[in-house]
């Protein structure tokens, strides 16, 4: 991109400024690092301010939907009911539920209870009861722009063990967010997430990770939460991705339900929990744009 654009041409980011006064230095830095062998994502995945603004509109809807779920969820609610709420709220805000029909996924939201790690399919037969923990994973398409976040809910009074798991995964995400700094490798973030889970005696799912997002549901990079320090692509301003570790109380082994092809469970049947936020890398750190 930097080769094709004249220094006095308008910048690719849409600021209206001349390229030389806007992103020229940024592009040169990126290119130099790439040539030095640092892995960086494709330039097309770096969001322009206008794209950021539009993706944030999508995020606002996603947040409102999860706020709605938070207000209404409780014992006696079926996961199909949560699916209806999510569908209705999404449409009410002018959005489309991203999971519906994605790779054949049959519902508008993923609902993952207790030992279900992720991608649980809502069902009329599945009714929440006191003591359950559930992840509700909402993703929205709004005017072509994608957002994605998930939260845990404790149903009534849950055991201290489950409560701690839910709390620690939340901390893992917060620690991950604190490691998002421009021009540093994304592996530092995943490493910090993993450490915090391990310190608390938990494991982190290895096979399923996070992803870039914005113009597509799942963009590069694939994001690990068991990464080593100083590995992976460099985080650069304008990059967007999810922080969504799945933390298990027991072993990190998981399997996918053969009957529905979606539901992922822990192999040992012990609980798993996940929170998901989307971050935008900024000049001096990051902004959590979806939660």
Binding site for ligand MF3 (CB under 6 A): 99, 102-103, 105, 110, 119, 137, 139, 148
Among the residue ranges 2-10, 17-25, 117-125, 237-245, the one whose residues contact Co ion (CB under 5 A): 237-245
Q: CB nearer to ligand MF3: give 110 or 169.
A: 110
Q: CB nearer to ligand MF3: give 12 or 222.
A: 222
Q: Does 115 bind Co ion (CB under 5 A)?
A: no
Closest approach, Cβ 75 to Co ion, in A, equals 27
Instruction: Convert 77-99 into a string of H (helix), E (strand) and C (coil).
Output: CEHHHHHHHHHHHHHHCCCEECC
Q: CB nearer to ligand MF3: give 13 or 65.
A: 65
Q: CB nearer to ligand MF3: give 11 or 110.
A: 110
Residue 271 binding: pick among ligand MF3, Co ion, none (C-beta 5-8 Å cut-off by kind): none
Task: Report d(CA 137, CA 148) in Å as an integer.
Answer: 8
Task: Report d(CA 62, CA 289) in Å as an integer.
Answer: 10
Q: Does 219 bind Co ion (CB under 5 A)?
A: no
Task: Report d(CA 115, CA 118) in Å as an integer.
Answer: 9
Strands 210-212 and 219-223: antiparallel
Q: Does 132 bind Co ion (CB under 5 A)?
A: no
Residue 105 binding: pick among Co ion, ligand MF3, none (C-beta 5-8 Å cut-off by kind): ligand MF3
Q: CB nearer to Co ion: give 13 or 117.
A: 117
Closest approach, Cβ 24 to ligand MF3, in A, equals 34
Asked if residues 244 and 210 have their Cβ atoms less than 8 Å apart, the reply is yes
Closest approach, Cβ 38 to ligand MF3, in A, equals 26
Closest approach, Cβ 127 to ligand MF3, in A, equals 21
Among the residue ranges 18-26, 74-82, 191-199, 241-249, the one whose residues contact Co ion (CB under 5 A): 241-249
Q: Does 203 bind Co ion (CB under 5 A)?
A: no
Q: CB nearer to ligand MF3: give 23 or 149.
A: 149
Asked if residues 63 and 291 have their Cβ atoms less than 8 Å apart, the reply is yes
Q: Which residues bind Co ion (CB under 5 A)?
A: 148, 242
């Amino acid at each position: 991109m930097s080769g094709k654009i004249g220094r006095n041409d308008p910048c690719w980011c849409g600021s209206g400024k001349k390229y030389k006064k806007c992103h020229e230095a940024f592009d040169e830095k990126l290119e130099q690092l790439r040539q030095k062998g640092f892995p960086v994502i494709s330039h097309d995945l770096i969001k322009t301010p206008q794209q950021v603004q539009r993706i944030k509109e999508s995020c606002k809807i996603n947040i409102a939907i999860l706020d709605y779920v938070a207000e209404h969820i409780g014992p006696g609610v079926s996961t199909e009911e949560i699916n209806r709420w999510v569908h209705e709220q999404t449409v009410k805000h002018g959005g489309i539920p991203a999971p519906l029909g994605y790779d054949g996924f049959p519902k508008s939201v993923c609902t993952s209870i207790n030992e279900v790690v992720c991608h649980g399919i809502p069902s009329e037969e599945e009714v929440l009861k006191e003591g359950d923990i559930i992840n509700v994973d909402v993703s929205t398409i709004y005017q072509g722009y994608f957002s994605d976040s998930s939260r845990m809910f404790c149903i009534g009074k849950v055991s201290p063990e489950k409560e701690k798991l839910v709390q620690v995964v939340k901390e893992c995400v917060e620690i991950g967010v604190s490691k998002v700094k421009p021009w540093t490798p994304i592996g530092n973030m995943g490493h910090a997430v993993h450490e915090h889970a391990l310190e608390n005696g938990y494991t982190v799912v290895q096979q399923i990770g996070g992803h870039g997002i914005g113009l597509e549901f799942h963009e590069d990079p694939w994001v690990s939460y068991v990464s080593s320090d100083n590995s992976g692509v460099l985080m650069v301003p304008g990059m967007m991705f999810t922080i969504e570790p799945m933390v298990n109380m027991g072993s990190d082994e998981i399997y996918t339900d053969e009957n529905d092809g979606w539901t992922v469970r822990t192999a040992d049947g012990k609980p798993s929990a996940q929170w998901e936020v989307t971050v935008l890398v900024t000049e001096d750190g990051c902004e959590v744009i979806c939660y």
